A and B are shown apart, each in its own frame.
Chain A
Amino acid sequence: MTDAAPLIEVEHLTMRFGGLLAVDDVSFSGKPREITAIIGPNGAGKTTVFNCITGFYKPTIGRLTLRGERDYLLERMLGHEIGQQAKVARTFQNIRLFPGMTVLENLMVAQHNKLMLASGMSVFGLLGLGSYRAAEAAAIDKARDWLQRIGLEVDADRPAGELPYGAQRRLEIARAMCTDPRLLCLDEPAAGLNPRESAELNQLLVSIREREGVGVLLIEHDMSVVMQISDHVVVLDYGRKIAEGPPAEMQRDASVIRAYLGTDEGEAPSA
């Protein structure tokens, strides 16, 4: 664990849907160049925490601070501003690519804000000015780099919806990374992957942490992913945080085992 200042700070986050208290006074923080895993049984409120961080829900109570050039108070920003200014990117539990558009186009859409500026809000682009052409070429290069990293370069011109499931998961991560995020939020990236794909995903996530220097928040049920690559684990149960610490410690923590793995001390469930 590094002692760097936290990248994302979640303080007293509470989310209430009518009579249901989905998240109850949860506080934790995530550091840059670290993978913070959020685990917990189904319905523990993990995705709700994500939706609050990425602006899909407005939290009932709580403060969400992202530290960049300045401090961004995420709970006060509009949904798209969190991606545009605070630079938080996310993936979804059920993959949300643009299925009718090609793989390359998916990665180009992710670089929208940068390209919009370069195209002078479309005016320079309509006139076909050189400055926009250069920006577009740079964006294509970036997309090509990511396609090489996730092994999809040959499929670049296929509609994204035609790709096999595992490839769609990797593409969604690459698309999120093409927005140049500070914080990457991954909602169950290993769901539905076979062991080999899951191992490839681990490598990809570790390379994102090491090479890109991006902070990663990870919701995951697959314990092989959580235990092997996460630096810090936050455990939720019934909307409350019940434990927090390094993965090895969490594996031994009695309250975690009771809540998450069941009272019976057996093998960790793999999905």
Chain B
Amino acid sequence: MVGRIPSVLKDAALTTFVAAALGFFIVGFRTVDVGSTKGLSFDYQFVDLGIALVVIFFGRVGLSLAAAGLPWPALALGLAMAAIGTLPLAMPSSFLHWFVILGGILIILRAGWPWANRWLTVARHSPSGTVAGQAGAKWFGALLLAAALVMPFTPMADQKTMDLSVLILTYVMLGWGLNIVVGLAGLLDLGYVAFYAVGAYSYALFSTQLGLGFWAVLPIAGAMAASFGLLLGFPVLRLRGDYLAIVTLGFGEIIRLVILNWFDLTNGPAGIGSIPGPTLFGAVFAETAPAGKQTFAEMMGIPFTGSQRLVFLYYIILGLALVTNLFAQRMRRLPVGRAWEALREDETACRALGINPTNTKLTAFAVGAMFAGFAGSFFAAKQRFISPESFTFIESAIILAIVVLGGMGSQIGVVLAAVLLIGLPEWFRDLGSYRMLAFGLAMVLIMVFRPRGLIAHREPSLRLHPVRRGGAP
């Protein structure tokens, strides 16, 4: 083992060299605005770079040691690094403290991984582990739902948390909708945001031009988005895999460009403003009601507070998301849902069994699009202002990342991934421009440790033999 130490050090030195070469320009310099006359100038951050390189060197040593089967020294190194990170040293930025701590935690995780892995494998293959896992998944979902239901009434529900929760729930709903298309039917859709945009603009236009209310437009928006799904689906669904992905990507961009340029209808890049919010039995959520309407506070006879609207929005999106979930769960147990999964597994075999692949795919596409339409009109009602800016490709990519990282086809996985991918960047706002680094790190960690997604277990849509509880199978 001692003989390997020179090679470990050499490897760490090489890694540090590569990091130095990359980081010299990326981290070492920062442009600063020195006033309108002089333009931009450089600020040097070589101390940051130096500290980062030291961390990288020891981090690499730690990882190599763990990989070489020396978990104890690696563990000691990781703990030491994490401890140094917490010391009140005078570092140039608070992020470097985080960097040192995260590096230490990473080494500890890597050192502990073989043990954790062995323990997990044993637990997963023991019969009580299987039953516990299934019961856990069931109760975990119920617990999550209960927590979501009471959340607005807990002390932690301040303005920021509620805003974030509404955002996360919107993505959970979009994730569940896309899960039908990608997770069940296996159709890689990179333009899902197009249907979200169709829903949002449907509500924005119907409400501002025709004066229709949120609840009246909701089904129309869903139908509009679903028909766009069918329209796109007809020509492209004979394509498979990568080709389908590229065409849907193009379709997503086309919709955005049409919205951007069809000035007469959509007001172009300026967007549509003053979209009315959703109402509860005709009561609006505002301090003063427009003529002929009453506010929620008046109806209930309680004083007006700003949080009422937010709580109401929260429950709407929670309800919509739950409807999406229930619908998807139900569809999965129906013949059409099983045909979706069969198409994902083997399209040729499906055709040989007399299943019409085009119709089946179209249903998946239209149903997925419909839920994006619902979510879109909620988004428009919540924001009160929409513009093409909100429907760029990155949105599609994030929704797809939620589905893939959550574990394709897993409903709970989508929730976890949405909390992780939407919640983390918001919570890490303190990290400033390093925020996306944490986001990337989270994604890489999921890919390394859970390559098939956070929850990869697939529950059969029906069983011939009910699961036996407790004893050995």
Contact = CB atoms under 8 A, between A and B. Distances in A.
A234 B345 CA distance: 34
Given A109-B355, A179-B353, A116 B335 contact: yes
A41 interface: no
Given A101-B345, A104-B463, A126-B331, A84 B338 contact: no
A115 B335 contact: yes
Contacts of A92: 348-349, 352
Interface string A87-107: 101101000111111101100
A244 interface: no
B353 to A, nearest CB: 5
B355 A98 contact: no
A143 B346 CA distance: 20
B341 A110 contact: no
A98 B346 contact: yes
Nearest to B352: A90
Interface in B191-248: none
B354 interface: yes
B356 interface: yes
Contacts of A109: 338-339, 342, 350, 353, 355
Interface string B342-371: 100110111111111100000100000000
B331 A156 contact: no
Interface in B313-359: 327, 330-331, 334-336, 338-339, 341-342, 345-346, 348-357
B302 to A, nearest CB: 39
A153 B129 CA distance: 25
A84 B352 CA distance: 9
A112 interface: yes
A47 interface: no
A84 B354 contact: yes
A245 to B, nearest CB: 30
B354 A83 contact: yes
B353 A110 contact: yes
Contacts of B363: 122
Given A98-B345, A126-B331, A140-B462, A83 B338 contact: no
Nearest to B409: A100
A122 B327 CA distance: 11
Given A80-B357, A84-B356, A126-B330, A153 B349 contact: no
Given A99-B345, A119-B335, A126-B330, A89 B352 contact: yes
B464 interface: yes
A113 interface: yes
A143 B349 CA distance: 18
Interface string B108-130: 00000000000000000000000
A157 B335 CA distance: 17
A96 B350 CA distance: 9
A47 to B, nearest CB: 13
A113 B353 CA distance: 9
B463 A98 contact: no
Contact of A112 (B335, B458, B462): B335
B220 to A, nearest CB: 20
Interface size bracket, A side: 35 or more
Given A116-B336, A122-B331, A108 B352 contact: no
B461 interface: yes
B465 interface: yes
A241 interface: no
A175 interface: yes
B331 A80 contact: no
B460 interface: yes
A74 B462 CA distance: 35
A113 B462 contact: no
A110 B355 CA distance: 8
Given A98-B345, A108-B338, A126-B334, A157 B463 contact: yes
Contacts of B349: 92, 96-98
Interface string A190-215: 00000000000000000000000000
B355 A79 contact: no
A142 interface: no
A122 B335 contact: yes
A63 interface: no
Contacts of B353: 83, 89, 109-110, 112, 175-176, 179
A96 B345 CA distance: 9
A108 B462 contact: yes
A156 B345 contact: no
Q: Most chain-B CB neighbours within 10 Å: which of A111, A119, A143, A157? A: A157
A144 interface: yes
Interface in A139-175: 140, 143-144, 147, 153-154, 156-157, 175
A140 B460 CA distance: 14
A157 B338 contact: no
Nearest to B326: A126
Contacts of A111: 335
B192 to A, nearest CB: 22
A98 B352 CA distance: 12
Interface string A41-69: 00000000000001110000000000000
A76 B51 CA distance: 72
Contacts of B462: 104-105, 108, 140
30 contacts: A56-B348, A80-B351, A80-B354, A80-B355, A82-B354, A89-B353, A90-B352, A92-B349, A98-B341, A98-B346, A99-B345, A101-B345, A104-B462, A105-B462, A108-B338, A109-B338, A109-B355, A112-B335, A112-B355, A113-B354, A116-B339, A121-B336, A126-B330, A140-B462, A144-B464, A153-B464, A157-B460, A157-B464, A175-B353, A176-B353
8 A-B pairs with least C-beta separation: A83-B354, A84-B354, A156-B464, A98-B345, A115-B335, A96-B349, A125-B334, A109-B342
Given A80-B351, A112-B353, 17 more contacts: A83-B353, A87-B354, A89-B352, A89-B354, A97-B346, A98-B342, A100-B341, A100-B458, A101-B460, A104-B462, A105-B462, A108-B338, A112-B355, A125-B334, A126-B331, A140-B462, A176-B353
